[in-house]
Structure 1
Amino acid sequence: MRNKPLPFALLLPLLLAAQPVATDSYLPALPAIARALGSASASLTVFVLAFGIAQLMCGPLADRWGRRPLLLAGLACYVLAGLGSALSFHVAMLVACRALQGAAMAAVLVCARAAVRDLYAPQDGLHVMARGLTGLGIVALAAPLLGAWVVQLAGWRWVMALMAAYASVLWVLCWRGFAETLPQGSAAKASAGSVREVFASRSFRVWASVAASTYAGIFCFLLLSPMVYIEYLGLSPALYGWIPAGGSLVYIFSTMACRRLLRRWGPLRTVRLGATLSLVGPCIQALGCLLAPQAVWPLLLGHAVYVLGHGIHQPCGQAGAVADLPTQAGRAVSWSGFGMMAAAFCVGQVAAQFVDAQQSHGAWPMVLPMLLAGVLLMLLAWWRLPRLYGAR
């Protein structure tokens, strides 16, 4: 007797949360890993690169083989990578395991996002993705706090073991309750398709640009905020830890509000509001850098306003990028995800070049990329999106 399939709307947040489980809970363990193995930063960098590049391979595979086989394989590799990381006795072994985990996470997220397009109409997909990202935000809030507690009580290896345990539970849930979502006949059509068809879609180009722009801005905050708040402004690490946690609370609220706004206003007006927030937030931070460079509150207020916009753009951008490509959903998801990671990596590397030991540029290396992201989002929301909906 077959088990009743688990409602996908409940499974989606758990699948999307595999990302903060692998990243946010890992951050508090970095100092302990560096002490034990001699280095830790390379494992994080390789993880991000593997996650971004592997999406390009996972998309076509998901369209050809189906979502379920690739999802189960990705979760299995996630478990093995977590166990291997926990048992690592050398930094090279840890880097290899984290690279495998990044590729495995790419398979999980590509299949989860593609399944949203398989199961829901484009308009409904925006609401479902917003609900899923609300769950991701809750995990992102708890993951660093739980990771720090586990490191303190049991050591960094148990953080990696808990990642494997989380993925094991997900594998069982998907094995028993996740049915194949790829429509019959879609695999043959996807095999005959090409990446050119994905980029020929104006909807894909616009919505993928929205997702990449907002993510690049938030990534620069994650990358550079420790140096700004701890090294430049003198906050303690414990006090700083509440800043990203507070951002996660704002993000959760924003994704919940996004669902209501979509029902009341529709995608265009909702994204325009998000773009306005995404520009106003960095403007507040920039004024703070000019008028009160040693003040913390303008940076905190501006970050909260930017995250309000980010919580609107992410579900709309991720779901909108695949809305017009039902038979190419895997490829569309993979290229959209790769674009997000590539934009974040490139902008983050450029911004990091302006951070020195003396913090001579203050908070500007963190603020300017977010300001640029806000300007791009305004152009997309007030120029490109109206043309897209006008064409329809």
Structure 2
Amino acid sequence: MTHESSPPRRGLAFALLLPLLLAAQPVATDSYLPALPEIARDLGSASSSLTVFILAFGIAQLLCGPLADRFGRRPVLLGGLACYAVAALGCALAGSVLLLAAGRAVQGFAMAAILVCARAAVRDLYPAHQGPQVMARGLTGLGMVALVSPLLGAWGVQALGWRWVLVGMAAYALVLLAMCWHSFAETHRPIAPGALNAAAPRGSAREVWANRPFRAWASLAACTYGGLFCFLLLSPMVYIGYLGMSPVMYGWIPAGGSVVYISSTVLCRRLLARVGPVRTVQIGAVLSLTGASIQALGCLLMPHSPLPLLAGHAVYVMGHGIHQPCGQAGAVGDLPKLAGRAVSWSGFVMMLAAFCAGQTAALFVDAHYSAGAWPMVLPMVLAGLLLVAIAYRWLPRLRRG
């Protein structure tokens, strides 16, 4: 066996790097959440910087996927990590909302390169039937980083100010850049210039969208993340602004969600081994809808209590931790030669759903919080309903077909 065809050493290194690469997203979002109220006081509206970040992340994936297929995963990944660090430092120095939003847009673009390469490398190194298990392990590690990110972010805001949270993001990216430079081997053979048309036909995007499993699994991932993003975007306003929590106390809420997320990715791996992917996501869909329904009942019966919001969020996140590994791996499982493009389109749809849901929900939040927690809760209810429809109606048809 040649060195080029021997994957164990590469696989082991990648298994260690995967959760850290995926965790670039919660580092950029979860640690940023406790800083939003202080940024709003210093610079003005803070939620726009988060939505611009998500929008840039979604759109940039459409470019990063083809680049990763054409030039290989390694150069695109290393470039993304370097830009992520530089953009975070630029945000730390921003003196206006406009500059902050511009820096976060660049950071979102860089994060697209990181996550597209990490997810595509899973398909490069592992067969389709192992993809959900590998993604679940990677997302377990992501959950561990997400557990401490909001706590560190809250501590940094209270002790040092919001700018140091962004410095911490830059430090994370630089450490990861050094690790990947040393340990991340190329997992995909770059397309030779003379073979460009044969290896990447012009209809490759059309081929991705023509794939029925891609459409179903990508929709699953988009729906679950769309609901969660409304929590990410609006929960600081609900818990800190509407319910009066301190930033440090609020930091424990996404941290607690991360604990639930970690346990749900472990549960996902066990369910996949026992009942298969479709039945697994059906269980997750019931959890997602149940969690959102608990929150809705809380808004009706206990509008000023955080308890039903917290309980419902925990149940929803349990479902989310089941859907994400299955959705992300399932979307690319049938498209090994177009893994970069399939990952990029799946990620774009996921971020587009999050952006549209978040922007719509934010329209109903005013300075007096007259709508209470409803702008955060109703999108999660809608996501739960859509997840049940996908899990019980759409995915079983794929299996019968």
Give the structure-1-normalised TM-score.
Answer: 0.92
The answer as to whether partners of 2:69 and 2:190 remain within 8 angstroms in 1 is: no
2:51 is matched with which residue?
45
Partner Cα separation in structure 2 for residue 32 and residue 289 of structure 1: 27
**Structure 1: gaps (5+ residues):** none
For 1:84 and 1:364, locate their aligned partners in 2 and report how far apart those are by CA, in whole Å: 35
Cα distance change on mapping 1:78 and 1:383 into 2, 3 Å: same
State the SS of the aligned residue for 2:369.
coil
1:240-264 CA-to-partner distances (Å, cap 9, x unmatched) read 3322221111111101111111111
Cα drift, residue 390 of structure 1 = 1.7
- What is the distance in 2 between the residues matched to 1:68 and 1:363? 43
Residue in 2 that maps onto 1:359: 369
2:92 pairs with 1:86? yes
How far the C-alpha of 1:233 sits from its partner, in A, is 3.8
Structure 1 residue 113 corresponds to structure 2 residue 119 = yes
Q: For residues 139-178 of structure 1, what are the structure 2 equivalents within 5 Å?
A: 139-178=145-184
Describe the shift of the 1:254–1:32 C-alpha distance in structure 2 as closer, same or farther (beyond 3 A). Answer: same
Task: Specify the alignment match of 1:22 in structure 2.
Answer: 28
Residue of structure 2 equivalent to 1:387: 397
Paired position in structure 2 for 1:215: 225
Does the CA-based 8 Å contact 2:357-2:379 persist in structure 1?
A: yes
CA contact (8 A) 1:118 1:182 kept: yes
Q: Distance in 2 between matches of 1:96 and 1:367?
A: 29
Structure 1, 130-139 or 281-290: larger mean CA deviation? 281-290
| Alignment partner of 1:136 is 2:146 | no
Aligned-residue identity in percent: 72
Structure 1 Cα separation of the partners of residues 394 and 260 of structure 2:
27
Contact 2:37 2:46 in 1 (8 A): yes
- Preserved contact between residue 118 and residue 183 of structure 1 (Cα < 8 Å): no
Cα distance change on mapping 1:249 and 1:321 into 2, 3 Å: same
- Alignment partner for residue 76 of structure 1, among 82, 93, 117? 82
Note closer, same or farther for the CA distance 1:156–1:236 as it changes in structure 2 (3 Å cut). closer
Q: Distance in 2 between matches of 1:280 and 1:40?
A: 31
- Mean Cα displacement is larger for which, 311-320 or 41-50? 41-50
Unaligned runs of 5+ in 2: 1-8
From the superposition, tell whether residues 357 and 78 of structure 1 become closer, same or farther in structure 2 (CA, over 3 Å).
Answer: closer
Instruction: Pick which of 62-71 and 155-164 moved more.
Output: 155-164
Name the structure 1 match of 2:186.
Answer: 180
Q: 1:376 to 1:49 in 2, by over 3 A?
A: same
**Residue 34 of structure 2 contacts residue 247 of structure 2 at CA under 8 Å; is this kept in 1?**
no
Q: 1:295 to 1:201 in 2, by over 3 A?
A: same
Counterpart of 1:103 in structure 2 is 109
Question: What is the alpha-carbon distance in structure 1 between the residues aligned to residue 385 and residue 215 of structure 2?
Answer: 17
- How far apart, in 1, do the equivalents of 2:174 and 2:380 lie? 37
In structure 1, C-alpha distance between the alignment counterparts of 2:303 and 2:85, rounded to whole Å = 45
CA distance in 2 between counterparts of 1:75 and 1:285 reads 37
Task: Give the match for residue 228 of structure 1.
Answer: 238
* CA displacement, residues 71-112 of structure 1 (integer Å, 9 cap, x when unaligned): 111111112222323344454443332221110110000000
Distance 2:146 2:367 in 1: 29
Q: Distance in 2 between matches of 1:348 and 1:39?
A: 15
Give the RMSD, CA atoms, in angstroms: 2.3
Cα deviations by residue, 1:145-199 (Å, 9 ceiling, x for unpaired): 1122233344433322222221112112111211111147697454214211000
